[in-house]
Chain A
């Protein structure tokens, strides 16, 4: 096995990027949204063509005119949205595009055997090659994608934020697989927003910023986390979380009261109350029911039992309109698919929940909409400015601000935030944190859900730990730490 060397000096949109990956290493690619990570890996996978610069593969200069050429060389890419066909089986997906054939017919048994061998190599011998991919979990799909990469005899596997859809346990298993592959001499390029993961899995780091390499080939072990953050953001972040405000007076009447809320097979007997100005965080693993709880409070799902009250008045179950009218706002987990009209201008996305207000004698007052939207984008510092801009041209953090602006424009008493910093880079995160704090300081009751326990503890006044669809702990945030939450999560229904 010869050392694998790849270089990209100077690529358009990528303003001169150098990257060198050697066999058997896990090389982490870091950078904020828009730093050029996606473009870089698309160039590497043959989806984009560089305008300048060279790619060297195993010592020789190569051109990758299309993804097939990259695969042929042994470079496989696993994208964030996995490109699997749900209706086909595991084996069919692994050999999609290069089916095992005999006399022009698919050799199904053959494919099944070799697929099973690949899954075994990945440490998942329990997965059946005959299973339909649509029935697998996100983690299972991840494994199928990796098996597909291996089926191409990949020597380099690029993984774009593989952990984004996995819970902590699944991430741990994925890391086991990655280490195994690296030990077999396969090079891995690993992209993630989560710095702690990189610390755990990475050998070396390359940091991108504004389409340039700001640092490359750094040894993970020798580089402290604050240094990495500084490289990524160009500034040092000492306090990631803003200071807590004054704790709301316990005598204040709660604005949101949830009691006995139950949805069959999702969560059971959820009760909590939130006072104006208070931030309540729901911590728990993916699949613990946290997102479902928020959606049910908002009326997007219908509760099978229990009540939701806003200012003492009970909401009819399963009615988003009623929840909104009572003053609840909701920023869903999947910003792009659940919250935004991606190709529409910013102002239309902001005014979507308040159209009635801009209606004058049956007609929409578009100027009024624009002005009101501009006011809120200015207040939230949405960049780049301009409310006519299509919202998909904004970065994740700014898109999140647009969703927040929608509810601020409408005006709400309760704000439900599901994963408010998902897909938001480190620099913009602290802005979102400050924003949420400010909203609470203005008297809005906030309920937030996050996969990152640290985020919940750092931001919330009170932390509810959700495990297996039940609240297993409810207490002030400063009386619990990450380990405490993890222990509770693991104990599950014992409590």
Chain B
């Protein structure tokens, strides 16, 4: 009686909503909860999370592109412009992907922007760059990643073992990391003198910017990690019901700490990408990245309360935001108008998400 499918993923949002049409079909017995219909086929396997929601994201993105086409014509549809959008998306995208893990695991991180700033500054200090010049620019990359991982570890340990609220612990990190970045850089912009880094990450492979390739690799790796490994499954369990996860033998504290370290590393990667794009490290890098990343994750369909996450949705969330920015810029609209539009999108996305969730919910 149950639609058992090999590749199906639970919660066929769109179809379930259509079929249910109300609280319960009249034929259903109270003792036998209705069988939520499921999507099957290879496509559903790719979409972790609600397929209906994903469809909504695709439509939103297409709609934005349509607006771009109508208002800016060829300037929008240009291949170079597409690459500009993706290049913009890559920095915030890498962070958002990391943020998806933390939020799915039941946490939140407000310090990502500050960590990016600190990592960018630390990687461009005279000492680091000199060492990089002597050995290889990989030293700078390693520094950025280590700084990111270190900040993430501090966050994770405070939250998991120090039992601090994620909001507070990462708020403290937000203040401290940016302050440290200002101290190290003396509030000055540090130009990347080691051209190797800019040449490599700022370059292209087969016409595609390396920034974009890095983002794609991170997203693909994250998708596999979340959907196809025990680590990902444990992340869902830790976010969905930490006590049940603990009693099922999962080391919830260690797992939580690792999630923040992962996000810290993502911030380190983002810092490297940002260095390549702007050719400078500064303590003002990464302003409001935390809000953009959280917003992208949430409109992507990841539950802010944890237990359910989608990398594909996050990527779409990021693309929607960056395309919006691009369309506005092409039309010479200022950033303030953009901010208002972003706010409206977040509200619309969350309202939609709640309606879908309410229809899928079984109530009893």
Contacts and interface: CB of A to CB of B under 8 A. Distances in A.
Interface string B1-16: 1111110101100000
B204 interface: no
Given A13-B23, A320-B247, A355-B230, A392 B241 contact: no
A388 B230 contact: no
A420 interface: no
Contact of A386 (B4, B11, B250): B4
Given A321-B249, A343-B307, A388-B2, A364 B233 contact: yes
Contact of B38 (A15, A338, A352, A388): A388
Interface string A139-176: 00000000000000000000000000000000000000
B337 interface: no
Contacts of B29: 210-211
Contact of B362 (A39, A300, A390): A390
Contacts of B234: 355
A183 to B, nearest CB: 35
B247 A338 contact: yes
A33 B232 CA distance: 34
Contacts of B28: 13
B236 interface: yes
B249 A324 contact: yes
A39 B30 contact: yes
Given A338-B247, A392-B362, A345 B23 contact: no
Interface string A251-278: 0000000000000000000000000000
A211 B30 contact: yes
A379 B23 CA distance: 32
Interface in B164-215: none
Contact of B30 (A14, A340, A341, A384): A14
B237 A386 contact: no
B60 interface: no
A344 B239 CA distance: 12
Which among B38, B233, B234 has the highest number of chain A CB atoms within 10 Å?
B233
Interface in B235-269: 236-237, 240-241, 243-251
A12 B24 contact: yes
A338 B1 CA distance: 29
B32 interface: yes
B278 interface: no
Interface in A411-430: none
A348 B2 contact: no
Contacts of B233: 348, 352, 355, 364
Contacts of B30: 13-15, 34-36, 39, 210-211
A13 B24 contact: yes
A321 B2 CA distance: 35
A465 B243 CA distance: 28
Contacts of A358: 230
Contact of A388 (B4, B34, B240, B250): B4
B33 interface: yes
Contact of A341 (B36, B224, B307): B307
Which among B1, B237, B248, B362 has the highest number of chain A CB atoms within 10 Å?
B248
Nearest to B225: A362
Nearest to B241: A341
A338 B10 contact: no
A449 to B, nearest CB: 15
A300 B35 contact: no
Interface string A190-213: 000000000000000000001100
B247 A300 contact: yes
B336 to A, nearest CB: 39
B2 A385 contact: yes
Nearest to A298: B247
A344 B236 contact: yes
B245 to A, nearest CB: 7
A359 B35 contact: no
B31 A388 contact: no
Contacts of B8: 388
Nearest to B2: A386
B244 A384 contact: no
Contacts of A370: 6
B26 interface: yes
Contact of B364 (A38, A364, A366, A406): A38
A352 B245 contact: yes
A339 interface: yes
A367 interface: yes
Contacts of B364: 34, 38-39
Contact of A406 (B241, B245, B248): B248
B81 interface: no
A370 B6 CA distance: 8
Given A355-B230, A355-B233, A390 B36 contact: yes
A454 B295 CA distance: 55
A300 B3 CA distance: 37
Interface in B32-47: 32-36, 38
B31 A32 contact: yes
A36 B36 CA distance: 20
A268 B9 CA distance: 48
Contacts of B308: 343
Interface string A335-367: 001111111110010001101101100111011
A36 B23 CA distance: 14
A86 to B, nearest CB: 18
Contacts of A29: none
A283 interface: no
A330 interface: yes
Interface in A430-474: none
B142 interface: no
Give 7 nearest A-B pairs by CB, closest first.
Answer: A386-B2, A34-B31, A393-B33, A355-B230, A211-B30, A324-B249, A353-B248
Given A324-B249, A348-B233, 12 more contacts: A35-B30, A211-B30, A337-B243, A339-B247, A341-B307, A344-B307, A348-B236, A352-B233, A356-B230, A364-B230, A384-B2, A388-B2
25 contacts: A13-B23, A13-B24, A210-B31, A211-B30, A300-B246, A330-B247, A337-B241, A341-B240, A341-B241, A341-B244, A343-B240, A344-B10, A344-B236, A344-B240, A344-B307, A348-B236, A358-B230, A363-B224, A364-B230, A364-B232, A384-B1, A386-B2, A386-B4, A388-B4, A389-B35
Interface of A: 12-15, 32-36, 38-39, 210-211, 298, 300, 320-321, 324, 330, 332, 337-345, 348, 352-353, 355-356, 358-359, 362-364, 366-367, 370, 384-390, 392-395, 406
